[in-house]
Chains A and B, each alone.
Chain A
Amino acid sequence: SAVISQKPSRDICQRGTSLTIQCQVDSQVTMMFWYRQQPGQSLTLIATANQGSEATYESGFVIDKFPISRPNLTFSTLTVSNMSPEDSSIYLCSERPGDTQYFGPGTRLTVL
């Protein structure tokens, strides 16, 4: 399995501000993934973070709202920009060494 850590584990933010979430994995991987899980819902892929190139965003998610950095093969950040209460959710970092998706502990974000 994979060892994945995220910071912060939770945060409460004001409307209109931005939050950057950090993700660290224990092995070098080509792709890292960012998911959103709204309360009581399934896992929705936001984007795939590729080292050395632009992130690939899923339908409904845009770079201006969710900019992603991938400076090396073990680290990535996701920023949630200009937040609104609708952004309140759990954000999960993920990696896939092989076919299996492994998830970080998540960042629980509350926007007031």
Chain B
Amino acid sequence: GENVEQHPSTLSVQEGDSAVIKCTYSDSASNYFPWYKQELGKRPQLIIDIRSNVGEKKDQRIAVTLNKTAKHFSLHITETQPEDSAVYFCAASRGGSYIPTFGRGTSLIVHP
């Protein structure tokens, strides 16, 4: 089955800095890679996703890159703000009826 590794487990940055979270996956057939943000006491919410036919996707201050050859994908947050503080989860899936496999999560702390 799929195995997703996520690093780092904790990331502390100053407001305005950039943050990068990296994930690797094992199943070369995986083709859908969502990222979730979970604020304290809240549900995980999808913030961005990418499919294997695309190398990069941007949405305002967040972007995701995918390297299919190396089987890794990354979340980039620019100009971080205190409200970006949360736990971020990556996931990988073959899509369709396949259930996504989640990474262990990264706790991002943005200091004002």
A72 adjacent to chain B (CB < 8 Å): no
A99 touches B32 (CB 8 A): yes
* A-contact 0/1 string along B82-112, CB 8 Å cutoff: 0000000101010111011011110000000
Report whether B43 and A106 are in contact in the complex, using a CB–CB cutoff of 8 Å: yes
Known: A42-B89, A43-B44, A106-B43. A101 touches B103 (CB 8 A): no
Interchain CB contact under 8 A, B43 and A42: no
How many of chain A's residues have a CB under 8 angstroms from any CB in B? 18
B99-A42 in contact (CB<8A)? no
Q: How far is the CA of A33 from the CA of B97 in the complex (A)?
A: 12
Interface centre among A48, A103, A104 (most CB of B within 10 A): A103
- Residue numbers of B with Cβ under 8 A of A are 32, 34, 42-46, 49, 89, 91, 93, 95-97, 99-100, 102-105
CB within 8 Å of B: which residues of A?
1, 31, 33, 41-43, 45, 48, 92, 96, 99-106
Sample (14) of A-B pairs whose CB atoms are under 8 Å apart: A41-B104, A41-B105, A42-B105, A43-B44, A43-B89, A43-B102, A92-B44, A99-B34, A100-B46, A101-B91, A104-B43, A105-B42, A105-B43, A106-B43
Given contact pairs A42-B104, A106-B43, a sample of 20 additional A-B residue pairs in the complex whose CB atoms are under 8 Å apart: A1-B46, A33-B99, A41-B105, A42-B89, A42-B103, A42-B105, A43-B102, A92-B43, A99-B34, A99-B49, A99-B95, A101-B34, A101-B46, A101-B99, A101-B100, A102-B46, A103-B44, A103-B45, A104-B43, A105-B42
